[in-house]
């Protein structure tokens, strides 16, 4: 698959909660890490999604919010993966941050340089990648 989304996680559908308009798709990307996607019920049908099916969870790097010092906080965003920053690339306006969340799960995020500096993002820093379930695109083989 060739696609511009930096974050491409292969996984298996663990659970589908069907709604009248939207479905909640829980995708297991490692033994102890899940990603939740919210897609339309018609997309679930068109992609022929079933529990146990192999899919990809795609998330644009610009849809990821990076956070530090989150102990004791709860967020409304369904997806939160914690790890250690392994790579940083600072540009003129934005910076790219790569975080290792364990189990071969690496997450790329693009943040403003102001956020980069305010959060103290650097290699070796513990951080949490936060993203909404509606930001996850589900891809399945035809």
pLDDT in tens, 69-104: 999 999 999 999 999 999 999 999 999 999 999 999
Same CATH fold, 61-131 and 7-60+132-140? yes
- The predicted structure's pLDDT at residue 1: 80
Q: Span 61-131: which CATH code?
A: 2.40.50.100
pLDDT number for residue 2:
87
Per-residue pLDDT at 64? 98
CATH number of 7-60+132-140: 2.40.50.100
Below-50 pLDDT ranges, the chain? none
Name 35's Cβ contacts closer than 8 Å, sequence gap at least 6.
9, 11, 26, 27, 29, 57, 59, 79, 136
Within a 10 A sphere around the Cβ of 8, how many other Cβ atoms?
Answer: 14
CA-closest candidate to residue 38, choices 110, 139, 141, 135: 135
Alpha helices in the chain (DSSP H): 41-46, 113-119
Residue ranges covered by each domain of the chain: 7-60+132-140, 61-131
Q: Which two tokens stand for residue 20?
A: 């009248």
């Amino acid at each position: 698959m060739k696609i511009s989304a930096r974050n491409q996680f292969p996984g298996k559908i663990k659970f589908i909660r069907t709604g009248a308009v939207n479905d909640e798709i829980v995708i297991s990307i490692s033994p102890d890490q899940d990603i939740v996607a919210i897609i339309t019920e018609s997309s679930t049908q068109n992609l022929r999604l079933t529990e146990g099916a192999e899919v990809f969870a795609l998330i644009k790097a610009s849809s990821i919010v990076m956070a530090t010092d989150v102990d004791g906080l709860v967020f409304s965003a369904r997806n939160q993966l914690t790890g250690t920053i392994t790579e940083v690339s600072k540009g003129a306006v934005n910076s790219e941050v790569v975080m290792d969340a364990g189990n071969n799960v690496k997450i790329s995020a693009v943040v403003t340089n102001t956020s980069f500096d305010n959060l103290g993002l650097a290699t070796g820093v513990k951080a949490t990648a936060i993203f909404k379930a509606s930001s996850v695109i589900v891809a399945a083989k035809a």
